[in-house]
Amino acid sequence: MALRQLFPLVSADVALFTIGETCLQVLLVERGEEPLKGSWALPGAVLKPSLDADLEATARRALRDKLGVEVPFLEQIHTFNGAERDPRGWSVAVLHTALLPRERLPASAGRKVERIRWSDVDSPGPLAFDHRAQLTLAVTQLRERVGNYALPLHLLPEKFTLTELQKVCETILRTGRNIDAGLDKGAFRRRIAGSPDLELVPDEFRTGAQRPAQLYRAAPGFRF
Amino acid sequence: MALRQLFPLVSADVALFTIGETCLQVLLVERGEEPLKGSWALPGAVLKPSLDADLEATARRALRDKLGVEVPFLEQIHTFNGAERDPRGWSVAVLHTALLPRERLPASAGRKVERIRWSDVDSPGPLAFDHRAQLTLAVTQLRERVGNYALPLHLLPEKFTLTELQKVCETILRTGRNIDAGLDKGAFRRRIAGSPDLELVPDEFRTGAQRPAQLYRAAPGFRF
DNA sequence: TAAATAGTGTCTATCAGACAATATCGT
DNA sequence: ACGATATTGTCTGATAGACACTATTTA
């Protein structure tokens, strides 16, 4: 299309992660329109300058439309661009990473989309455009950032135990090949203890068929 | 302009760094066109889809035009965007960081530009658009990444001594306030010794009025 | 009391910073 | 020999991982 020779297509894509039973999972949507109709892709939307204050707003709009959800964490991580990545022509796609606790998954999907699917991040199957590369980057970068143990707070409910936090970290780090990824309990808790991002919830515990576990939450001014 | 309500302005900006006598310096250019003609800004160019394979190419084109130089290192770091950051309307600016050894500075400036200036990164003066914020991000991120001691290789000539490398690291880390930033020689060299990014150049030394210093260079397959 | 999970303590290898000592040049 | 810088070595405190131990609940 000649238009693309003057004005590139600008869009926002999102790698939305959540914690599955054993795996880190990512949201995929089936494309309902050409090009590549019927193939799976990361959710995304074309920028509408009259609607979106910025591309983060574009990304949030995509998630509202396709999943009907507001995410607590959304951040841009890389911009894919060029003449070749989209068959429609020159395009700019700003990739975002978003995190959603499993508890906050909506019961129903959004409008405007055929099907959605939660996929293990290490076996997403074929994806449209360069979304395989986008996903790889988002996953790699997420795993690197787990080190500070703050990011996973966005994948947990408001109150959680240290063991739950550790499980989330282990799930993120566990790849298809590397089954273990078991973090040491002692070292993990020592590190957490010194973190300003976390605070203890007084007198609240998670009970079960064993010793109750102290509940924690994100510290008041917690941001990244 | 109504056009901007349909198609955002897409451009690439560059924070080009080099090492001055005592300071980390960044290239600024005086804007030769409206808007904000006459004010200082980071070099950049509007995307030309027919010319540029991607926005990295746009950034390289900007540096060629304004400084007449090819840089050995150029990498995208963040995308600034929104309806408000440019008076012309909705815009997308992909900010890049570039590094240039002082030895490779061209004698003359490029075409297409009124004036250029190398500024200390901590006192650039007023800048156009959101370039002050862009510069702050680029500098912050550069300082964080000096930790691995690999990035500064792009700011040095092909062959260099460990002391020269250390000086570059110290210069990058030295802020206006923090005058010291002196790294420990022993620790620095120990760390370098274990790095796969560096190799010794056999039988080559930098001589002066003192003990000659062993020359090093980037290891063969050095990338980030 | 047994099972299960929470939480703590200890040992050790590693590493970074501080700082001292030695090496090797030109003059 | 002296000044200057390069290069190496040692000491020490902090820390992460491994691993074992204790604590507290329900069944």
* Contact predicate A42/A53, CB 8 Å: no
**Looking at CA atoms only, how far is residue A48 from chain B in angstroms?**
7
Alpha helices in B94-153 (DSSP H): 131-145
Identify all chain A residues contacting B86, using CB atoms and an 8 Å cutoff.
none
Give the contacts of A74 (CB within 8 A, at least 6 positions apart).
A14, A56, A59, A60, A96, A97, A98
* Contact predicate B41/B28, CB 8 Å: yes
- Whether pLDDT at A214 is above 90: yes
Q: What's the one-letter identity of residue B143?
A: R
Kindly report each contact of residues B31-35 with a partner whose C-beta sits within 8 Å and lies 24 or more positions away, as own/partner: B31/B114, B31/B128, B32/B112, B32/B113, B32/B114, B35/B86, B35/B87, B35/B88
Contact A94 B79 (CB under 8 A): yes
Q: Which nucleotides of D are covered by protein (CB under 7 A)?
A: 3-10, 16-20, 23-27
* Contact predicate A58/A45, CB 8 Å: yes
pLDDT digits (tens, 9 = 90+) for A80-92: 999 999 999 999 9
Picking from A166-170, A185-189, B90-94, B104-108, which range would have the lowest pLDDT averaged per residue?
B104-108
Asked if the Cβ of residue A203 lies within 7 A of any atom of strand D, the reply is no
Identify from B54, B78, B80, B137 which residue to disrupt to test chain A contact, counting A C-beta atoms within 10 A and taking the largest count. B54
CB-count exposure of residue A192 (10 Å: 0-12, 13-18, 19+): middle
* Contact predicate B21/B98, CB 8 Å: no
Identify all chain B residues contacting A97, using CB atoms and an 8 Å cutoff.
none
* pLDDT for position B128: 97
- Nearest by CB to residue B49, choosing from A4, A53, A54, is A4
**pTM for the structure as a whole:** 0.94
Protein-strand C interface by C-beta, 7 A: A 161-163, 185-186, 189, 205-206, 208-214; B 183-187, 190-191, 207-212
- Nearest by CB to residue A54, choosing from B50, B76, B82, is B82
* pLDDT for position B4: 67
Alpha helices in chain B (DSSP H): 55-67, 131-145, 162-173, 185-193
* Tokens read off for A192: 């957490």
Q: Which residues pair with A41 in a beta bridge?
A: A29
d(CA B75, CA B95): 9
DSSP annotation string for B160-207: B-HHHHHHHHHHHH--SS----PPPHHHHHHHHHT-TTEEEEEEEEE-
* Contact predicate B118/B20, CB 8 Å: yes
CB-count exposure of residue B22 (10 Å: 0-12, 13-18, 19+): exposed
Contact B5 A49 (CB under 8 A): yes
- The 3-state DSSP class for residue A7 equals coil
* Tokens read off for B23: 């300071």
**Looking at CA atoms only, how far is residue B73 from chain A in angstroms?**
18
Among A165, A171, A222, residue whose Cα is nearest residue A189: A165
Asked if the Cβ of residue A204 lies within 7 A of any atom of strand D, the reply is no
| Nucleotide with smallest C1' distance to residue B214 CA | D6
Among B96, B223, B204, residue whose Cα is nearest residue B150: B223
Rg (CA), chain A: 19
**pLDDT tens-digit profile, chain B (224 residues):** 556 667 999 999 999 999 998 899 999 999 988 899 999 999 999 999 999 999 999 999 999 999 999 999 999 999 999 999 999 999 999 999 999 999 998 877 666 667 999 999 999 999 999 999 999 999 999 999 997 778 999 999 999 999 999 999 999 999 876 666 789 999 999 999 889 999 999 999 999 889 999 999 999 987 76
